[in-house]
């Protein structure tokens, strides 16, 4: 008789790592399937909200590369505005290869099993059991968690053929140097239409990136990224440049199927304004673990409650983020002048990013300023 896991998690990113840790801590038999070998390259700016520290009982400091306390905004490389974030805890900066591997290592330390270099090739449900096909043979579980990101196929295997999302795109490059970087997050608006460019500090360098977050634009993002890097004195043509899709939240949806859940970017919970994805991914991972644990205990209503909880806690905030994104990209120059450069803007956004405040608490005033600016010209 084949061994049946309590839960198989497809994907060892922030959502899969968070879920595997919390399920293993509860004594559940958890298997994480990761198609790559950790640590693996993962293009990502790497900004992480310190709010996540409250969801775990271990210290993340070994993988916090830097802490950002200031932000410097520009518009098409001009009209700079620099401000202190003013938050209780600075915004964390991480390298995803180390961060993801560290998180899964914590799960393994409390009993989770990790199979690296083992891609899930398909999945089907029969007689109350999920079977996941791999090159090493079929694996079975009572519950399945799809946490394999934007490009992962697992959501379709679970029956999610039409997820609500907006497809965005980003390209990124890493600079590693011996110079000690500063604590400033750089954000440049409208150098790329309907998006922004960024430069995030790391312990041994910087992460540069360019993203388009609304609509499709015929822009050479590699050229935009190279030009942006030259502003800081770097030739990014010598770096490895990674491109990847991003699935932005674009409306609430059920995230549960028969004895299965979606979490992380597979659940399309990326912020449609800032493109923040790590914190919402980890939040859904934590809550998915709680739901699976409850369902294993006989509470099958826990899975639909998970969908409702994500709608309530994530979706209600993403509505505000999407409104901001639509207004901002409709008239970016005006939005930069009346919104970004407003004295309250930087600390308010920093509080949202670090988890000290929510969009629903602060975005209403920002939207009113933007609308007044757009209408008034």
Q: What is the mean pLDDT of the chain?
A: 93
Taking the C-alpha atoms of residue 8 and residue 145, their distance in angstroms, rounded to an integer, is 6
Cα–Cα distance list, 122 to 19, 155, 157 (Å): 21, 10, 7
pLDDT tens profile 109-126 = 999 999 999 999 999 999
**C-alpha count within 13 angstroms, C-beta hemisphere, residue 17:** 25
Pairing outcome for strands 241-249 and 91-93: unpaired
The dihedral built from the CA positions of residue 329, 332, 338 and 343, taken in this order, carries a sign that is: positive
- pLDDT score of 376: 65
Q: What is the pTM of this model?
A: 0.96
Per DSSP (E only), the strands in 58-179 are 66-68, 70-75, 78-84, 91-93, 113-116, 120-126, 129-134, 139-146, 165-176
Q: What is the pLDDT of residue 220?
A: 87
- Rounded Cα distance between 358 and 47, Å, is 17
Q: Which long-range contacts (CB under 8 A, 24 or more apart) does 298-307 make?
A: 303/256, 303/259, 303/261, 304/254, 304/256, 306/255, 306/256, 306/261, 307/253, 307/254, 307/255, 307/256
Percent of residues, the chain, with pLDDT higher than 70: 98
Question: Residue 208's pLDDT is what?
Answer: 95
Q: Which two tokens stand for residue 282?
A: 């980890």
Task: For the chain, list the domains and their CATH numbers.
Answer: 4-61+94-161+251-319 (3.50.50.60), 67-90+166-247 (3.30.9.10), 321-376 (no CATH)
Please name the residues in contact with 371: beta carbons below 8 A apart, sequence gap of 6 or more: 327
The pLDDT score that the predictor gives to residue 68 is 96
| Calpha distance 77→73 (Å, rounded) | 9
Q: Could you tell me the end-to-end alpha-carbon distance of the chain, in angstroms, rounded to an integer?
A: 71
> Is a pLDDT exceeding 90 seen at residue 76?
yes
| pLDDT higher than threshold 90 for residue 214 | no
pLDDT at 1 over 70: no
**Considering just the CA atoms, what is the radius of gyration of the chain in Å?**
21
DSSP assigned state of 185: E
Cβ-based neighbours of 68, under 8 Å, separated by 6 or more: 47, 85, 90, 91, 93, 183, 184, 185, 200, 201
Mean pLDDT across 68-90 = 95
The pLDDT of residue 369 is 84
Residues 15/284, Cβ–Cβ less than 8 Å: yes
| DSSP structure class, residue 149 | -
């Amino acid at each position: 008789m084949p061994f049946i896991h309590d839960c198989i998690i497809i994907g060892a990113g922030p959502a899969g790592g968070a879920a595997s840790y919390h399920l293993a801590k509860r004594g559940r038999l958890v298997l994480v399937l990761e198609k790559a070998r950790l640590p693996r390259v993962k293009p990502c700016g790497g900004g992480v909200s310190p709010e996540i520290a409250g969801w775990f009982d271990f210290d993340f400091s070994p993988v916090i590369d830097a802490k950002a306390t200031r932000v410097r905004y520009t518009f098409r490389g001009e009209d700079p505005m620099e401000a202190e974030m003013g938050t209780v805890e600075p915004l964390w900066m991480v390298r995803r290869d180390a961060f993801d591997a560290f998180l899964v290592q914590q799960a393994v330390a409390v009993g989770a099993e990790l199979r690296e270099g083992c891609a899930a090739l398909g999945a089907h449900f029969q007689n109350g059991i999920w079977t996941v096909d791999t090159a090493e043979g079929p694996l079975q579980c009572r519950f399945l968690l799809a946490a394999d990101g934007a490009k992962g196929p697992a959501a379709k295997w679970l029956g999610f053929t039409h997820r609500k999302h907006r497809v965005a795109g980003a390209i990124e490059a890493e600079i590693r140097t011996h110079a000690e970087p500063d604590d400033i997050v750089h954000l440049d608006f409208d150098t790329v239409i309907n998006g922004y460019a960024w430069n995030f500090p790391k312990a041994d360098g910087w992460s540069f990136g360019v993203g388009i977050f609304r609509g499709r634009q015929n822009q050479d993002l590699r050229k935009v990224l190279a030009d942006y890097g030259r502003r800081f004195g770097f030739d990014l043509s010598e770096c490895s440049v990674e491109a990847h899709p991003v699935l932005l939240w674009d409306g609430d949806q059920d995230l549960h199927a028969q004895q299965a859940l979606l979490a992380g970017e597979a659940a399309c919970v990326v912020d449609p304004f800032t493109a923040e994805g790590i914190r919402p991914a980890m939040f859904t991972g934590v809550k998915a673990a709680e739901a699976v644990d409850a369902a294993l205990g006989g509470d099958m209503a826990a899975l639909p409650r998970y969908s409702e909880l994500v709608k309530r806690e994530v979706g209600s905030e993403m509505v505000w983020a999407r409104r901001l994104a639509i207004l901002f990209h409709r008239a970016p120059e005006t939005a930069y002048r009346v919104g970004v450069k407003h004295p309250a803007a930087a600390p308010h956004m920093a509080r949202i990013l670090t988890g000290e405040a929510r969009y629903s608490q602060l975005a209403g005033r920002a939207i009113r300023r933007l609308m007044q600016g757009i209408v008034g010209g």
